[in-house]
Structure 1
Amino acid sequence: MLLQVLMLQNGFVMGGRMDRFSAWRLDIDDMSYEQLLELGDKIGHVSTGLKEDEIAHCIRKFKLSVLNELSSHNIKVILEKKCSVCQEEYEGDDEVGKLECGHGFHIQCIKQWLAYKNKCPVCKTEPLARRS
């Protein structure tokens, strides 16, 4: 009976919906740093990035001077004054990696980014769709 009352109370707190998974939820707000680290070790790491060969398939490599020339011929190249990943300005003949969406970055910056996350840092489109 007590369990049913507690479930009913939780249901009202959750906006009238019964939450049958409430016992599984963790209250991380009151956890210490060490407890959070231990929890992270238990949960593990899930990589959302791409492998090196996948990265090579979705980046087109250019020299900055070539990209500037392509832009002058109305070819879709979106290149800011700074790399959106490292926030450094482009210089001289830097190597730039261009994604399918048109955004360009320092080649090393975008490779590092894509190894971490399979999304353009600017527009969030996936440069390479995951194959099941």
Structure 2
Amino acid sequence: MVLQGSILMGGRRDLFRDWRLDVDNMSYEQLLELGERIGNVNTGLKEDEMEPYITKTKLQISDQVDKKCSICQEEYEEDDKLGRLNCDHLYHFQCIQQWVAHKNCCPVCKHQVAARR
């Protein structure tokens, strides 16, 4: 058994084997408890940090975009306020604001919205 583990680790002993969690075999209650212990990790931007990275726009007939927002899955209406990221992906303005508040990346291409210092 030790030899097998040694071979799997490329000939080295796995010193952190006891630290690893087997989440595939954890119960729902154990996973909830683990989530509470880990807590919430927020990589998003504050509202005042978003402004330079989300360009407000309106839907143009000439826009070659999907007909619906990738976040809420609702079709764009003619009067909708839209937000365009630097990667040129387009979303409902409010949808992308909420998304960027939690994650600093485009929901479609994962391009970083704002570079962290």
TM-score of the pair, normalised by structure 1: 0.77
Displacement, 1:78? 5.7
* Segments of 4+ moved more than 4 angstroms: none
User: Are 2:25 and 1:13 aligned?
Assistant: no
Q: Which runs of 5+ in 2 are unaligned?
A: none
Match in the other structure for 1:117 = 103
Q: Deviations over 1:26-45 (max 9, x none)?
A: 11222211111111111122
Identity of aligned residues (%): 61
Counterpart in 1 of 2:36?
A: 41
CA deviation after TM superposition for structure 1 residue 15, in Å: 4.3
Q: In 2, Cα distance between the equivalents of 1:78 and 1:99?
A: 15
Shift of 1:111: 0.7
Instruction: Give 1:30's aligned residue.
Output: 25
Letter in 1 for 2:25: D
2:82 aligns with 96
Task: Kindly indicate whether residue 71 of structure 2 is the aligned counterpart of residue 85 of structure 1.
Answer: yes
CA-atom RMSD, angstroms? 2.0
In 2, the alpha carbon distance for the partners of 1:28 and 1:120 equals: 28
Instruction: Please state whether the residue corresponding to 1:56 is helix, strand or coil.
Output: helix
Matched, 1:57 2:57: no
- Matched-pair contact (CA < 8 Å) for 1:83–1:104: yes
**5+ unaligned residues in a row in structure 1: which ranges?**
none
| TM-score of the pair, normalised by structure 2 | 0.86
Q: Is the 8 Å Cα contact of residues 79 and 105 (structure 1) preserved in structure 2?
A: no
Q: Which protein has the bigger helix share?
A: 1
